[in-house]
Chain A
Amino acid sequence: MNKYFRELTVAIALALLLLSLAIFAPHFFQAQPIISRLTSQMPALVAAVGIALVIISRQIDISIGAQFSMCAIVAGVTASAGFPLGMAILAALVTGALMGAVNGVLVAYLGLPSIVVTLATMVTWQEALRLWQQGRLLALPNGIQWFGLSQQVGQMVVISVALTLVVGAAWAMKNLSGGRQIYATGTDAEAARLAGIDPKRTTFRVFVLMGLLTGLAAVLNLVQSPQVQPNCGDGLDLKTIAAVVVGGVAISGGRGTMWGVLLGMLLLANVNPALTHFHQPPYWEKAIQGLVILLAAVADGLRSRKTKF
């Protein structure tokens, strides 16, 4: 089962982590805190699915954090203006899709490198947002938090939506030819073209799709508290890219699964909580994250070196 080797290694790592927690810090496994923690990790998971698609198509998007914040604020402002929840959700999705489209046009049709394009759009959205909101917290009207349901139910809704999305994405990547097109474009755009796929169109669509998913993620985050922070997306780019790389998505494109994304995200997101329960100070988090990214990259590098020649 060479194909899923990478995902298995992450699963094993996660299992080991949980095992050590079970042995040395069993108080980790309490139902409510776990559910709360999981709920708070779901938005990043959804965003990670989006960025995984971008990376599989051999691009990158570091503006994801800025997009997330912008979508959240737009949704919040829409809700505060009196519009119903549905409209706020729609606003978030549309905003995300539009921002994704901007990236998509520049990268796919103008042929600009995605690292620089998304750097530019990231700065633009981020600062535009700061200018607009001035760092103010935006209070949400009643009925928005937890979709107007109780916290218990609301948490369940968030978790189900996110997990359904992951499962759906996994299914779509495997079964819809759209998914095939993404893999093909990411592996070898020229071969894809000869196979009848339009790499430019595929790339554009991937960025728009990512924007949509980011909007969704922002909504899932929005409903978890009574106010919106304008910098809620800070650090999301690193978090999601790290999670997908760890989960087996290759930076060189063409490879990766949604299961890997799920596992990678669960692993990395629980480093901090695990540290807390091991009574280890939390400030090791970034160092561990960086190390994990490097290890994953090295593993991928060694693996593809073997089969290249």
Chain B
Amino acid sequence: MRITKQPMGSQTLLQLSDIRKSFGAVRALKGVSFELNAGEVHALLGENGAGKSTLIKTITGAHHPDGGSLRVAGIEISNLTPSRARELGIACIYQQPALFPDLTVSENIGLRLKKSGLISRVRWTAQREQTVALLHQIGAEISPDAVVRTLSMPEQQLVEIACALGSGARIVVMDEPTASLTQKEQQLLFKVVCDLRKKGVGVIYISHRLEEIFALADRVTVLRDGESVGTYAVDSLTESAMIKLMVGREVSSIYPPSEGALGETVLQLRGLGCAASGISGVNLEVRAGEIVGMAGLVGAGRTELARILFGITPADSGEMILNGEKLQIRSPREAIARGIAYVPEDRRRHGVILEMPIAQNMTMASHPRFFPNGWLRFAAELQLAENFIRDLGIKAFSPDAPGGSLSGGNQQKVSVARWLATQPKLLILDEPTQGVDVGAKSEIHKIIRGLAREGLAVLMISSDLPEVLGMSDRVAVMRNGKLVDILEKQNADAHSVMSAALGTNRNEVPS
């Protein structure tokens, strides 16, 4: 049952109308409207990339919307900044607490809550008392004199919540707050949220845990693809209905078809794990010519698994067998030499080096193979670059142009070229088309399918569900550091994948 009228007597704290936000060619929010009332917990639901975090950043003033309006307590606000948002009573508790690690809890709270002049006295005892009171209010057993660096992540989150309480926030945003909390801490948090609600505070609650939404929230707004699919009373929905709302779009059939003929097994993982990364017991097989999609929520461990395979964080348990040979990959260099290539997710830090020329970027991972005795060969490098530019359809001024002169999609193609130049047997792609415009996206899909056809084994990590469903021959789903399900193409649909990713599917395939 859709809600169009707000309950009588309840005040609207926040009103977003038709918010639009684009980053370059990518439209993150396409006209989202959202309302928050006093004394309610309003959940925000949506899969990765739906626009939740962009919406939140618009509310906290970290982003400027390109269009639409924002009203706080009925007053339209333009040019919202983080400090302004704080003054208006908007507080946000992120997954990564933004505290200063070398100061104590009470110093951090004091810093946040005090307006900063230059000479203004920081009242020590008052600050400490306030901290004690706030911590007591949320029932956190943390000493106000503890140095933040020594606190665990959940404890730091609780400090953030105390900050929000102390700043007298009327609108509190919580972004996946229970992600790393224990059962007991979760209960604490729920109590805090309920207390906030009783006080008339409006809470925007983002979580993937449907059971939490059912337990805490009054209303839920579902985002999909940058748009709002509707606002509903939580009581009126079933779990199934929620999932359907999250993913219910048509799976586009405009994906390059798979050819069918598979080669031998290239990669075999048996019980692979790395304690430090939180990954355990992964069993997986990838054959030549096959594209295995890796689905799961953010933090499920897909990138961590890729980093294990690539040697960034080597495995400490289980086996990895590449082309029939049992291996221990301890460094990226070793991985590359063995024929494993990894196109990384964090493009800014690990991808194309923007200041260096395209051609040099392309040969960057192939030095031992392409320049055997250490001497650079410019003509050969240029030739390689020209070939890739032609074959992959890269739109560049020249092979000498710096990587930074290309669009995101073309940079990604250069990244792919770099890894193809290493002549890999296993190609791991981590969010290959994220932030890439629609046109380049489909080109990259064709390239990936073409590579599989040539005999490459492809592992494709993606949070774009249609992409996963459209491209993969099989779909592996990860949750909480474990590989929980592997679905054949015919069994893989939005619902089954999402259920496995969320953990609502009781029939997990034991590996």
Contact = CB atoms under 8 A, between A and B. Distances in A.
Contacts of A307: 101, 149-150
Interface residues of A, number: 22
A195 B112 contact: yes
Contact of B124 (A175, A177, A194): A175
Given A2-B150, A3-B147, A180 B122 contact: yes
Contacts of A184: 100, 111
Given A2-B150, A195-B112, A307-B149, A254 B120 contact: no
Interface in B81-105: 82-83, 86, 98, 100-104
B111 to A, nearest CB: 5
A297 B124 CA distance: 32
B374 interface: no
A188 to B, nearest CB: 7
Nearest to A4: B147
Nearest to B62: A194
Most A CB within 10 A of own CB, among B62, B101, B114, B116: B116
Nearest to A253: B102
A187 B118 contact: no
Contacts of A187: 100-102
A174 B107 CA distance: 9
Interface residues of B, number: 27
Contacts of A38: none
B477 to A, nearest CB: 27
B390 interface: no
Contacts of A197: 116
Contacts of B101: 187, 254, 307
Interface string B436-477: 000000000000000000000000000000000000000000
B102 A255 contact: yes
A187 B103 CA distance: 10
B83 A176 contact: no
Nearest to A250: B102
A62 to B, nearest CB: 25
A191 B118 contact: no
Nearest to A184: B100
Given A183-B103, A184-B111, A191-B100, A177 B120 contact: yes
A191 B100 CA distance: 8
A178 interface: yes
B117 interface: yes
Interface of A: 2-3, 174-178, 180-181, 183-184, 187-188, 191, 194-197, 254-255, 307, 309
13 contacts: A3-B147, A175-B121, A175-B122, A176-B122, A177-B117, A177-B119, A180-B107, A180-B122, A181-B118, A183-B100, A187-B102, A195-B98, A307-B101
Interface of B: 62, 82-83, 86, 98, 100-104, 107, 111-112, 114-122, 124, 147, 149-150, 276
- Can you list the 10 inter-chain pairs with the closest CB atoms, starting with the nearest? A196-B83, A178-B118, A177-B116, A3-B147, A255-B102, A194-B82, A187-B100, A177-B120, A175-B122, A191-B98
